[in-house]
Amino acid sequence: MVSFTVRMRFNSEDHEEIAQHLRELTRLTRQEPGCVSYIPHWVESEPTTVLIYEQYRDEAAVEHHRGTAHFAKFAIGGLYQKMLDRSMENLQAIA
């Protein structure tokens, strides 16, 4: 199992556009055979920050996700064009 979080910060005026990109990206990502969980969140204490929790069956499923047309359209062509900064944390399950 591969789990990680992605944190991105955006300008407040881009809030609805970012939400729309995330709704579509989430809908399509959850249909991928190797996706276990894909949950985007607005961070309540930082309203311009998105945190996405992602979990995939294995590294091949992560690579598949990053190679999809919807990732290219909504992440690379959408979110990445608007984000001010981005960080990622790889997670290791305890139980």
Residue 91 lies in a domain: no
In this prediction, what percent of the chain has a pLDDT beyond 70? Answer: 100
Give the pLDDT confidence score for residue 71 in this predicted structure. Answer: 98
Name the average pLDDT for the chain: 97
Give the pLDDT confidence score for residue 57 in this predicted structure. Answer: 97
Residue 18 lies in a domain: yes
pLDDT at residue 77 tops 90: yes
Give the pLDDT confidence score for residue 95 in this predicted structure. Answer: 86
Residue 72 lies in a domain: yes
**Residue 69 to residue 6: CA distance in whole angstroms:** 19
Q: Can you give the residue range of the structural domain that contains 63?
A: 2-86
pLDDT band, residue 6 (cuts 50/70/90): very high
Task: Write out pLDDT tens, residues 46-76.
Answer: 999 999 999 999 999 999 999 999 999 999 9
1: which residues sit within 8 A by CB, 6+ positions away?
36, 55, 56, 57, 58, 93
- The CATH number given to whatever domain includes residue 70 is 3.30.70.100
Residue 70 lies in a domain: yes
Task: Work out how many domains the chain is built from and give that number.
Answer: 1
Give the pLDDT confidence score for residue 60 in this predicted structure. Answer: 98
